[in-house]
Structure 1
Amino acid sequence: MSAASGGTPPETPLASKLKDRIRREGPISVSEYVRACLYDPDCGYYRRKPAIGAGGDFITAPEISQVFGELIGLWSAVVWQHMGSPPRLDLVELGPGRGTLMADALRATRIVPGFHQALHLHLVESNVTLVPLQRTAIAAHDVSASWSETIEAFVDAVGGTPAPMIVIANEFLDTCAADQYEAHNGEFVLRGVGLDADGELTFTLLPDRRAEPAQAPPRDGNFLEIQDFGFFRPLARLMADRPAAALFIDYGSASAASADTLQAVRGQKSEPPLRSPGEADLSFQVDFARFRRLALETPGLAVDGPVPQGQFLGQLGVVERASRLMAANPAKAAAIELQIQRLMAPTGMGSRFLALGVRSAYLAPLPGLA
């Protein structure tokens, strides 16, 4: 299938770079393609595009309603209290976007005695264009903050100071690249990206690379996606040596998908994943079962969930908080109600997004994830 089937693709800088690489080295795997599209040092989507918000390529839950970030903030404060309200807490956000979630969280938790005084923020952000927006978003709150470009750099920075830690990761797991295998003649064969007869990017199969044999031969056309959650290993080791909790919210499933879930979004519209390398956001549906198994491999960690986002927010009191916000802003009540419906819709974000918590095994189960 050629990218040209959806119209002639623009020759983005990364498209030229990838085509040259494929001509020299041969087809690359889908995971290599996605990593290049998102993280190429010169042309990667997450290196330079401020993509979030009404004027960007996609809108996340914090951009839909301030209540989302407020509840995550209050959730963090309750977890801190369950830790014994320690005098120092590292509050970490992976992929903080425009800083909207963190700003809303900080505003809501001003009422929690001692919480802000204990906080040190760590924002892990690979996109240099977003860091100034994050600084502006949290500037009104008197808390110390630091930035790291990678999780490895963050781990190195805090590894020697074993303070309790809470990690927030909203729509972060879906950016983890996956190897895709397509069933062909009863076997799962690695899917790759090569060039068609016209020199355009196209999906292909790499027959010399196969997945481990399945218990039963797969039906031709089925997919197997194996996401690389390698980022979590150093983070898990860090969590294991201190009181810690992490909250992951993302679009995904509690079991592995048997279909192709790779999607591209540009200008808040879907497009073929090969059309605009480096210019569109690429993501996969998160395999929460696989991520859960990985988290449980680290001694001393326990997992709560996953549960649907609607259930999680409902247990945190989203309706009650929205009602108070509507009463305080009657002119905006209808808009606030629509925002909450969007977050909670059983046929939309309420069920398609899941929440999963990872914690030190000796801590109480995390709120909202029973």
Structure 2
Amino acid sequence: MTDATPLPPADTPLGRIIAGRIAVDGPMTLGTYMGLVLGHPQHGYYTTREPFGADGDFVTAPEISQMFGELVGLWLAVAWDEAGQPPAVTLAELGPGRGTLMADALRAMKMMPGLLDRVSLHFVEQSPRLREAQAQAVADAGLSRPPVWHDTVDGLPDDRPLLLIANEFFDALPVRQLVRRPDGLWSERMIDLDPDRPGRFRYGLSPDPSPAAALLTPRIARASLAEIPAGAIAEVQPASISIAGTIGTRLAALGGAALIVDYGHGISAPGDTFQAVKAHAHADPLEEPGRADLTVHVDFERLAAAAAAGGALAHGPVDQGSFLGRLGIGARAERLARGARNGGERAQIATALKRLTAPEEMGRLFKVLALTPPGRPAPPGFAPVPGFDADL
């Protein structure tokens, strides 16, 4: 049986582990299931798979075009300059993938004299395989010291300003789903063994109200049954809230800036966004655990609130298309097209520009949130800034 042939979940190595845990401990939360599927040290998706690119399961913005990472690098360089060009700064990326974004960003950051000499590069990445790819990607970036890896955000240095980028990081953090009850309270959606289909999983519901309901935004938590009826699903990401709060605290205390890019919604709202992606197509999240990516839509309002609670100022979110447009991606695409060797390369540049910015592509679904210390004006991309252009 080939890798492309679906197996009953409990017939895969990770499926058997999950089934065994459920048999012993009872149904598990969706967050526990998602954490195991993506991060199990032997059989997890990010531990064993090559998810990125045309041959993987999905393509991220840095894989589409160098323009994305270059503009991010210029944004970070301006943030450093506006912070007063501190003599030492932590440059960090959360979930760096293969290091493509950071390699492109560092190339653009060289345009700011002295910046790379002040930078200490840090990656938050647990996968040993991806750490190797990231090291290779930035090996020739001109850094004065090698990068450092951390398992969590808490490991980042806490003695200097922070410049941070997180692209498609928060969507892969474990989510807990809550289901509205007829009495207005919220119970936890669970993963259980299906007694009618041996070897398979099903969704269930905890009989008791969930303490995770305390993480819902007040608008959702206090909504009447007429506004949010029984059976509605709401999602919370405890890890996202914690990480955003940590970033906000660091920025308020040390200075710097953070840029968060992901697909999601700008205003908190109920809805089931839990999904699986395999070979660039949607799949059943309960089938073949460990062989497909699991994601959710990011709640940017909740991220902004958590960062603000930590002391930071949130800007946005704005649509990715608007953000990149304000940073000059159109002008950058024109320059690349003028230097293209043939019509095929020019067509690729035009296609990449459309994928990154068009509303029907990534331009509207993907959002961008900036975090700065309090009292800072809106950074580039969050309001029209005369004179800021991607002149590479």
Q: TM-score range by the shorter chain?
A: over 0.9
Partner secondary structure for residue 11 of structure 2:
coil
Partner secondary structure for residue 354 of structure 1:
strand
Partner of 1:226: 236
| Contact 1:49–1:127, Cα closer than 8 Å, also in 2 | no
Root mean square deviation of aligned Cα:
1.8
The counterpart of 1:241, out of the listed 247, 253, 276, is 253
Query: Match of 1:107, as an amino acid?
Result: R
User: Partners of 1:186 and 1:308 in 2: how far apart?
Assistant: 37
The reply to whether residue 174 of structure 1 matches residue 171 of structure 2 is: yes
The reply to whether residue 309 of structure 1 matches residue 320 of structure 2 is: yes
1:296 to 1:365, Cα distance in 2 relative to 1, 3 A: same
User: Partners of 1:133 and 1:41 in 2: how far apart?
Assistant: 18
Query: Match of 1:142, as an amino acid?
Result: G
The reply to whether residue 268 of structure 1 matches residue 280 of structure 2 is: yes
Deviations 1:49-99 (A, max 9, x none): 231122211110000011000000011111111011222221111111011
User: Partners of 2:56 and 2:325 in 1: how far apart?
Assistant: 28
| Contact 2:9–2:289, Cα closer than 8 Å, also in 1 | no
| Contact 2:8–2:288, Cα closer than 8 Å, also in 1 | no
Partner of 2:291: 279
1:152-171 to 2 correspondence within 5 Å? Answer: 152=153, 154-155=155-156, 158-159=157-158, 162-171=159-168
| Contact 1:12–1:279, Cα closer than 8 Å, also in 2 | no
Query: Match of 2:224, as an amino acid?
Result: A
Query: Aligned residues, how many?
Result: 360
Deviations 1:196-251 (A, max 9, x none): 11332111111213446643113243211112222233333332321121000000
Of stretches 41-50 and 260-269 in structure 1, the one that deviates more from structure 2 is 41-50
Deviations 1:251-284 (A, max 9, x none): 0001223221001112222100000212211111
Query: Match of 1:215, as an amino acid?
Result: A
| Contact 1:124–1:151, Cα closer than 8 Å, also in 2 | yes
| Contact 2:122–2:150, Cα closer than 8 Å, also in 1 | no
TM-score if structure 2 supplies the norm length?
0.87
TM-score if structure 1 supplies the norm length?
0.92
TM-aligned CA deviation for residue 46 of structure 1: 2.4
Which segments of 5 or more consecutive residues in structure 1 lack a partner in the other structure? 1-5
User: Partners of 2:110 and 2:339 in 1: how far apart?
Assistant: 18
| Contact 1:92–1:168, Cα closer than 8 Å, also in 2 | yes
1:92-131 to 2 correspondence within 5 Å? Answer: 92-131=92-131
TM-aligned CA deviation for residue 163 of structure 1: 1.9
User: Partners of 1:264 and 1:165 in 2: how far apart?
Assistant: 33
TM-aligned CA deviation for residue 9 of structure 1: 4.5
| Contact 2:10–2:19, Cα closer than 8 Å, also in 1 | no
User: Partners of 1:31 and 1:55 in 2: how far apart?
Assistant: 28
Which segments of 5 or more consecutive residues in structure 2 lack a partner in the other structure? 1-5, 215-220, 384-392
TM-aligned CA deviation for residue 184 of structure 1: 4.1
Partner secondary structure for residue 364 of structure 2:
helix
TM-aligned CA deviation for residue 291 of structure 1: 0.9
1:8 to 1:44, Cα distance in 2 relative to 1, 3 A: closer
Query: Match of 2:187, as an amino acid?
Result: V
Query: Match of 2:179, as an amino acid?
Result: E
| Contact 2:164–2:258, Cα closer than 8 Å, also in 1 | yes
**Percent same amino acid among aligned pairs?**
38
The reply to whether residue 147 of structure 1 matches residue 139 of structure 2 is: no
User: Partners of 1:248 and 1:294 in 2: how far apart?
Assistant: 13
TM-aligned CA deviation for residue 152 of structure 1: 4.4
1:345 to 1:186, Cα distance in 2 relative to 1, 3 A: farther
User: Partners of 1:75 and 1:125 in 2: how far apart?
Assistant: 23
User: Partners of 1:145 and 1:170 in 2: how far apart?
Assistant: 22
Partner of 2:309: 297
User: Partners of 1:152 and 1:355 in 2: how far apart?
Assistant: 20
User: Partners of 2:116 and 2:19 in 1: how far apart?
Assistant: 50
Partner secondary structure for residue 190 of structure 2:
strand
